[in-house]
Structure 1
């Protein structure tokens, strides 16, 4: 009886150990399976206006993010309205096309909560013409076309003032300058405000057009041919923008990291010559 009892205990012990080992193996397998599922590639959609900023996403941001394990899709827009709505509606994860002043105003007017993550190299607004090569040779009552959104219109009126074509009121807020602030217009220039995407084409009928840099490059303009380029500031450089709820996400941190990287700067120096670069 003692022998049978001992054998029974031994068999029970072996069975118990086998069961424990089996459970341990299953738990390890389950943990590995869970770990592998957590390492799935994150698919990200980045919106940008067609032209230099979609190019910047494609040539600089996309490859550097994909090195970090993301799968990037680019969504192109041809206006300044839809990109923020798409971001707010979570159709895209980030966008690149706007400066912070425009973003703040648009977000407030449309009840959105957006955050400018990081400034990127930006093409300046310029005064372009197919009809004159010297800005001082502009004819009386010449037509000047410029953006119709308030923040970019303000940039255009400031640029026209810096070019000596008009004089604005003293002490005006440069971010809110408008046609109403003109106190001297010696050439009696006629101003027509248009959607930014139409400005390059408007040169067929206007004498001068104030074209934002991204639309100028989208129309294959050479920045160096502008009659005058604006002086860039932190207020009018473009930013990568996300919904505020995602400003501390891993994607947001990775976006900031790559834009400030040496690799990103090298791509900008090669493929985006003439862009004004912020100091990080």
Structure 2
């Protein structure tokens, strides 16, 4: 009888131990699941500019899930105009966006007296030369018209691309991020270089022999990036033309900003990027070692 009683007690003890281990495991899982970063405690809701752009969609697909695990709430705010986007950021109507490159931010800071800060380069869809009425750069003829964006930073970016493609030559000694039409030194094909609002170019591309589209404009027009006839390349894109995670400069050292940076640099996001198109130009921290 005593033997049976001891066996019974041993079984109860084992079951109790398993129960406690199970509870401890569940509790640890719950603790891990509900662990909130210091940044999220201080700044629970991140308001970000949301518009269908390649970088914005990538932020939502690859970065938002990481930030939610850290305890953040993400609130999208739709702003269609690029200048209004930057002014909204300057006035704290939004906390961040990922839809400008540093050259553009610097131009806005100068023109609008803002204090915006490109906190981190992010994956970038290159600007590219796309077909208009002609489908191959070998069809280029004297006097052909090429349209490209008219804002200062993307005017410079487009001229840099035309230079790298060998269609024009630019004056020596001019900062490529500040190129203007007046800086064209040689135009052997007598190309008509037409400045237009970037978002409008894709809709009138048949009016030009070729057009230069920013990644966001090609994306919004549902034009396959891989159909570009020439484009910025990983090895020669200018650093100021890489898209950035942008914040109001007065917040640049806050913990939530560092958490967004950490999310982009995480192994989880690096694995996510491996599932994406090879067309993206990657910042140094995401390139395979």
Please indicate the TM-score interval, normalised by the length of the shorter structure: 0.7 to 0.9
Measure, in 2, the Cα distance between the counterparts of 1:41 and 1:156.
Answer: 38
8 A Cα contact 1:128 1:225, kept in partner: yes
Please report how far the alpha carbon of residue 115 of structure 1 lies from its aligned counterpart in structure 2 after TM superposition: 1.4
Q: Is the contact made by 1:48 and 1:97 (CA closer than 8 Å) also made in structure 2?
A: no
Structure 2 residue 257 is the aligned partner of structure 1 residue 255:
no
Runs of at least 5 residues in structure 2 that lack an aligned partner in the other structure: 1-39
The match for 2:279 is 274
Structure 2 residue aligned with 1:173? 175
Q: Does 1:233 align with 2:235?
A: no
Are the aligned partners of 1:45 and 1:74 in contact in 2 as well (CA < 8 Å)? yes
Asked whether the 8 Å contact 2:118–2:246 carries over to 1, the reply is yes
Which residue, out of 45, 48, 52, partners 1:46?
48
Q: Retained in 2: the 8 A contact 1:127–1:226?
A: yes
- The alignment partner of 1:275 has SS state of coil
Deviates most, 76-85 or 168-177: 76-85
Map of 1:188 onto structure 2? 190
- For 1:264 and 1:139, how far apart are their aligned partners in 2? 45
- Provide the residue aligned with 1:208 in structure 2: 210
- What CA deviation, in whole Å up to 9, does each residue of 1:16-41 have, x standing for no partner? xxxxxxxxxxxxxxxxxxxxxx9598
For 1:35, the equivalent position in structure 2 comes to: none
Change (3 A) 1:109 1:39: closer
Q: Which has the larger radius of gyration?
A: 1
Alignment of 1:86-165 (within 5 A): 86-165=88-167
Cα distance between partner residues in 2 of 1:77 and 1:46: 10
Describe the superposition over 1:206-230 as per-residue Cα deviations: whole angstroms up to 9, x where unpaired.
1111111122122222222111011
Greater than 3 Å deviation, 4+ residue runs: 38-41, 76-79
TM-score relative to the length of structure 2: 0.79
Distance 1:244 1:274 in 2: 31
Post-superposition CA distance 1:123-181 (Å, at most 9, x none) = 11000014323213112222111010111101101111222222222222111111111
In the other structure, the counterpart of 1:32 is: none
Q: Distance in 2 between matches of 1:146 and 1:170?
A: 22
Structure 2 match to 1:244: 249
CA distance in 1, matches of 2:54, 2:78: 11
Aligned match of 1:5: none
Q: Is there any run of 5+ residues in structure 1 with no aligned partner, and where? A: 1-37
1:68 positional shift: 0.7
User: What residue in structure 2 maps to residue 218 of structure 1?
Assistant: 220
Partner of 1:68: 70
TM-score normalised by L of structure 1: 0.81
How many pairs are equivalent?
A: 243
Distance of 1:265 and 1:213 partners within structure 2: 21
Aligned to 2:177, the other structure's residue is in SS state: coil
Classify the secondary structure of the residue corresponding to 1:235: helix
Match of 2:5 in 1: none
Distance 2:277 2:71 in 1: 25
